[in-house]
Structures are given as structure tokens and as C-alpha cells.
Amino acid sequence: MATSSDEMNKELNYRRYEDYPREEGVRNYDNDEMIWQASWTHKCPTYVHQTPPCQASCPSGHDVRGWLDIVRGLDTPPEGMTMEEHAFRLYTKANPFPSTMGRVCPAPCQDGCNRNEVEDFVGINSIDQYIGDSALEAELGFEVGEESGKKVAIVGGGPAGLAAAYQLRKLGHGATVFDDHDTLGGMMVYGIPGCRTPREMLSGEIKRITDMGVELRLSTRVGTDITVADLENDFDAVFWAIGAQSGRPLPIPGGDAPNCITGVAFLSAFNSGNLKHISGKIVVVGGGDTSIDVASVARRIGQISNVSDKDRPEHVILGDTAHDVAETAAREGAEVLLISRQPVENMSAAQHEIDDALREGVQIRGSLSPVEVVVDEEGRATGLKVVQLSYESGKATPIEGTEEVLECTLIASAIGQSGDFTGFEDLDNGRGLMNATKNYELKGKEGHFVAGDIIRPHLLTTAIGQASVAVESINDYLSGSGQRLRPKVDVHHFQMLDELKNAGMEPDHFGGGKEKEDGQRGTAGSKFAIHNYEDRSFASIITHQKLFLGHFSYTPRNHRSFVEVDADAVLQNFEERMQGLDKESAQAEAGRCMSCGMCFECDNCVVFCPQDAVFKVRKNESAMGRYVDTDYSKCIGCNVCEDVCPTGYIQMGLGE
């Protein structure tokens, strides 16, 4: 039976500074740790900045807490700037695609959110979408850095390539994108249907980047139309972002039948506008998001009964022909079956995508393994032989006697992807991918860098985050400074110095000599250092055990609404399903953030300090993370401020 919210909140609301619980994984206060000396200790409060788990879970390394604080109204924008633009500017330091991410990212940040320990995660994705859509509506653009004179060739115009172009132009480096399609976007365009990434939205986010002065060489394939040697001669560095746009065929007998195609090829043909219907029954093999997209598209485009040989889907997908819209006007819902080796509940696709597919009429069966493609006398697939799997032993084991043949006219394999290395075969690591260092240098190829699915097929946000790190490495390479050691927690960190500078509170210059002569050792009364602050964000992530969870009452999540399309209405329905939050709801949802590892100005430390040692700083001297201060002449090191700090920002450090 579920615990009621009243009981849960009651359990969380003990006063730790009275009870001192000795629970595993929870703060345990021993006298030795506190260094008690009668009525005082050798410890004092220190403000410690750590990385929140949402940010640490994000492959793009967003300062999630930072832009949530802006949306909720905690971090006010500079004069003349709206809240939405202020949030957009911080967001896009890491990722230039907020609208896209808000719609399609499976949000590992939400899985890592500490609020899950209270009731439910913060709807970070919904704030992504609000920030991005607001920026598109306001037609916000990006600034370009001072021109460096350096030029970088970017091979591939998908999420990694475009993110790299954006980051390079911010640094003032020239960026030329080579792509073998006539439209930019890569898998965002050719691998995801428009009902998930509306094309007008996507083109707006891409245009912001190309407007920065990015040179485009579309319908140009490196390795065929231009050689790698040409790139090396004409550019100062080469960045590879070719993606993994070659799907893996079924590795079973008959898997090379002409009507056994890959899911990637199916989606590319549809998103290119060539594939407009299927015929008969389609079986999709997979279990991930790509397989769900294939199944959902197949349901939407529908089937027709009478089809000529040239119009068979495999001919269109393989590029031999294209469907005429007039010929496919009379169609009906297609029969689509998706099978997965994993049980349905363990499929890697997002749960809401699985639910949508089922609602739209897609049949889904789990624990089935393909055995053989059944072909006719012409070599075309007429069925897929499968066997049921058991996981009782902990691994997939075929169940003898459970074989069956699934009738079909088309099989789509969505079981993995690889790259196309035609013309630069020497870069293939033997597995159809490329090898990268921690700095995203292409191994064994000086001046070449790489990011995205060609390293390992993963999320859009992963490709974008890798591109950001790769551009830092490219910048180091172009400057001749050598590659830097990446931090343990490699994200876009909050910068206290930037906050103080924006508030007009930048520390004084440290002269060195005079300060030494005056015997200055500490920083409490000094103006040349950031007093009483420690940055551990590069090295540690704050967990829920460090928070005072009892501070947070049950607050239900503000959900986005979804347009539910049933099986009867799915045919030719490519309208967007996800409806974004309005401003009020977005601010309310951002307000649920617990600001893990950073002060959110709750006043607990000021209210509960028994010595009045903790105080609010003057408003004109306040900045994010510098809301309170400590009078050490009054502080006795009692630990109360640390105990009642909801965010874990206050920790006890050595002092006197």
C-alpha cells in the first residue's frame, strides 16, 4: 500500500540538529567529528557549491539548477532583459536546441532529480520547451565571437555538427558544414517524425545557428565529392559528426531479403517525403525509440491494397522511386506489429512513447527473438519466424516448441546503427564506428575531432554535449596550448565570479607583496578573494542525503498536456502531440526545484541560528549564492545552520 503524502512529510520533518539520527547514508554527528570544546567547536559554516544530480545526469551538462532559478524568479535578469531571454542565454551555453530537447529528450536529468526522494521529479523537460518556444517567438539569436582567422571543417549537419558550429562561432572560429543531404538536421530531421519535432520549430532552431555565419556545403559528401586530404589542406581542423545513419540488418537467414529494410532507412525515406504508404503487414524488430518511431509512422501513413511493383516500400526506401500522393489517396490503417527480445516492460523506449503507440493501434509483443526470415520463390520475405524467450535463468533462453511465423510484407530492423565510411575507410574502428579520446580527439589522427552517434549511438543531448567538449579541445588545439585534463564532473558549471561581476561585486585585485607584508592569511576581511565559499562542483555531486528533505512539502508536478490520438484517428495525423506549459505553470514547476547544492534564499539558517551569527547581506551586495553571510565573532560552530539548510549548501569547515 502506498504511503500517504501526509505520512511521508511527517516522516521527513524531524529536526536533525536535535535528533542526530545515526542512520546509514544520513548525516551522523559524532562528537569527534564536531570537535566540541565546551560550548564551541573548531568548525564554522562554509558555503559549498556542488553539482546537482540533474546536471550530472545530463549528457549536455546543462546548468539546470541555474535556469530553473531564473524561471522561478530567484535569479533576476539584467536590466532590459526578460526572464525568458535570461534563461535562454544560460541554457544555450550548453545546448542550442531547447525546444527540440523539451520535446524528444528522454530526460535522464529527471531520473537523477533529488525531488524523487520527496514525491516526484521536477518536470525539467517542460521548462526546456517553455524556454525554447519563448525564444523562437521572440526571435532571439546568438552572438558571434571576435574572428580568430581559424577555419574548421564540420563533416555532418546533424545535432553534433550543428552544436559544434554554434560553439565554434561563439569563439570566433570559422565553421563550414559539409552534409550529403539537401537539408540540415541529421537524425533530428530524417530520424524523428514531425509529430515529435515540428519542422517549423526545428528549422527555427537551426536557422539561429546558420545565421551566425556558418558556411554550408549541402548535398556534398566527404569521401565522394571531396576528399579528406582536401579538408586537411583547406582547414585548420576537422570535426567528424557523420552520425550512424546505416542501420543494422537482421543477422539471421533470409535477413538480406529485398523487403527487409532498416528502421533508419524507413524513417529517412518517410521524412524525405518519398515514402507515403506501405502495403500489407509490417513487422518492426527492436524495442528502442527508433522502433517506436517506425511503427508510429507506419500506422500514420497507412496502407493501400493495390500497389505496383515499382511502388513497393522497399523500392522507395532504397531510393529507386518515390510515391505519388495522388496514387495513395485511398488508404487505410496499416497493420503494424513491433516485437522485442526484451519483455515489453523492459523495452528501452520511453514509456509514454510505448503507451502512445499502443493507443494508436500498434501491436507490441515482447520476449520474442527472430530466428529466420521466411521467403517466397522470388526471395521476398513473407513472414518472420520467431521463438519465445524465457528470462528465468537471468539471461535470454529460447523456449523449445514456441516457434511461430509472423506473416508480413515488410520487415523493418531497428536493432542498431553504424556509420558509412565510403571514401575514408581507414577511420572505421572495425565496428562501423570511430574511436575518441576523453577530449574527443579522433584517435591516431592529429587535428581531427569527433562526436555524436559515430562514437556510440545514443541520445541527441549526448551528441550535443560531446560536441561542446570537442570544441573546447579544438580551441586548445588551434591555440597550441595542448589538451587540458577534463574535470571529474565535466559539465557547464555555475561560476561565482561571473555572478559577482554581474552584481558589481567583483573581488579586488590581489597585489601579493603588500598583503604578505601585512600578514594577511585568511579571507574573512579581505576584498581580494571570495569570502567563505568553496567550489567543489568539478569534483562532487550532491546527493539527497546531504539535503534537509523535511523542508519540502508535497507539491504535485505541473504536467504538460498530450493530444491523445487513437487507432481510428491516427491515419495521416502528423500534428504535434505535446502541448507546452504557459508562463504561470512553467514558473510554478521551476519553483519545485530544490536547488540542490546552491542557496535558494529560504532564510532557515538566519531564523534558526541561536547566536544571530548568520545574517542576510545587504540587497545591493547580494548575488546568487551570496544571500547570507556569517559573523564569526558570534559563531560558536553549533552546526544548526547546516542542519536546517534544505539544499546542502552550508557545510561545516575548519575555522576559529
Q: Note whether 273 and 402 are same-domain residues.
A: yes
Which grid coordinates belong to 204? Answer: 527555427
Give the largest CA-CA distance in the chain: 95
Those residues whose C-beta lies under 8 Å from the C-beta of residue 20, and which sit 6 or more positions away, are 28, 29
Residue 258 belongs to some domain of the structure: no
Q: Note whether 213 and 158 are same-domain residues.
A: yes
Q: Note whether 326 and 431 are same-domain residues.
A: no
Residue 370 belongs to some domain of the structure: yes
pLDDT at 575 (0 to 100): 79
| C-alpha span between 71 and 479 (Å, rounded) | 37
Those residues whose C-beta lies under 8 Å from the C-beta of residue 317, and which sit 6 or more positions away, are 261, 265, 266, 268, 269, 274, 275
Q: Note whether 607 and 650 are same-domain residues.
A: yes
CA distances from 289 to 192, 293, 296 (A): 9, 6, 10
Pairing of strands 381-390, 404-407: antiparallel
pLDDT at 523 (0 to 100): 54
Mean pLDDT of 369-378: 95
Closest CA to 499 of 53, 70, 45: 70
Give the range of the structural domain holding residue 281, as residue numbers without chain letter.
Answer: 263-303+322-414
| Overall number of domains in the chain | 3
The pLDDT tens digits of the residues spanning 505-518 come to: 777 776 655 555 55
| C-alpha span between 476 and 474 (Å, rounded) | 5
Rg (CA), the chain: 28
Q: How confident is the model at residue 26 (pLDDT cuts 50, 70, 90)?
A: very low
pLDDT at 30 (0 to 100): 47
Residue 109 belongs to some domain of the structure: no
Residue 652 belongs to some domain of the structure: yes
78 DSSP assignment: P
* Alpha helices in 199-285, H assignment, sequence order: 199-210, 228-234, 263-271
Residue 545 belongs to some domain of the structure: no
pLDDT at 32 (0 to 100): 46
| C-alpha span between 207 and 135 (Å, rounded) | 13
Q: Note whether 432 and 453 are same-domain residues.
A: yes
pLDDT at 21 (0 to 100): 46
Q: Which three-class secondary structure string do you get for 522-587?
A: CCCCCCCCCCCEEECCCCCECCHHHCCHHHCCCCCCCCCEECCCCCCCCCCCCCCCEECCCHHHHH
- Going along 416-562, which residue ranges are E strands? 417-418, 448-450, 533-535, 561-562
Pairing of strands 448-450, 237-240: parallel
The pLDDT tens digits of the residues spanning 603-650 come to: 999 999 999 999 998 888 888 888 998 888 888 888 899 999 999 999
Q: Please say which residue of 393, 414, 435 terminates a domain.
A: 414
CATH number where 189 lies? 3.50.50.60
pTM for the structure as a whole:
0.85
Pairing of strands 417-418, 448-450: unpaired
The pLDDT tens digits of the residues spanning 558-602 come to: 999 888 887 777 777 777 878 899 999 999 999 999 999 999 999
Supply φ then ψ for residue 204, to 5 degrees.
-65, -40
Q: Note whether 401 and 425 are same-domain residues.
A: no
* Alpha helices in 25-97, H assignment, sequence order: 31-34, 53-57, 64-71, 83-91
For residue 23, pLDDT over 70 is answered with: no
Q: Note whether 631 and 656 are same-domain residues.
A: yes
Residue 111 belongs to some domain of the structure: no
Ranges 8-17, 46-55, 316-325, most confident: 46-55
pLDDT at 632 (0 to 100): 82
Q: Note whether 400 and 504 are same-domain residues.
A: no
Q: Note whether 456 and 500 are same-domain residues.
A: no
Q: Note whether 162 and 188 are same-domain residues.
A: yes
- The three-state secondary structure class of 6 is helix
Residue 117 belongs to some domain of the structure: no
Q: Which residues does residue 388 pair with via DSSP β-bridges, in sequence order?
A: 368
CA distances from 328 to 139, 313, 335, 362, 587 (A): 38, 12, 17, 21, 46
pLDDT at 4 (0 to 100): 42
Q: Note whether 408 and 524 are same-domain residues.
A: no
Query: Can you say whether the dihedral through the CA atoms of 190, 196, 200, 204 is positive or negative?
Result: negative
Those residues whose C-beta lies under 8 Å from the C-beta of residue 380, and which sit 6 or more positions away, are 257, 258, 259
Q: For the chain, what percent of residues have pLDDT higher than 90?
A: 61
Q: Please say which residue of 414, 437, 467 terminates a domain.
A: 414
User: Are the C-beta atoms of 114 and 50 separated by less than 8 Å?
Assistant: no
Q: How confident is the model at residue 284 (pLDDT cuts 50, 70, 90)?
A: very high
Residue 579 belongs to some domain of the structure: no
Q: How confident is the model at residue 195 (pLDDT cuts 50, 70, 90)?
A: confident
Those residues whose C-beta lies under 8 Å from the C-beta of residue 521, and which sit 6 or more positions away, are none
User: Are the C-beta atoms of 411 and 373 separated by less than 8 Å?
Assistant: yes
Q: Note whether 225 and 287 are same-domain residues.
A: no
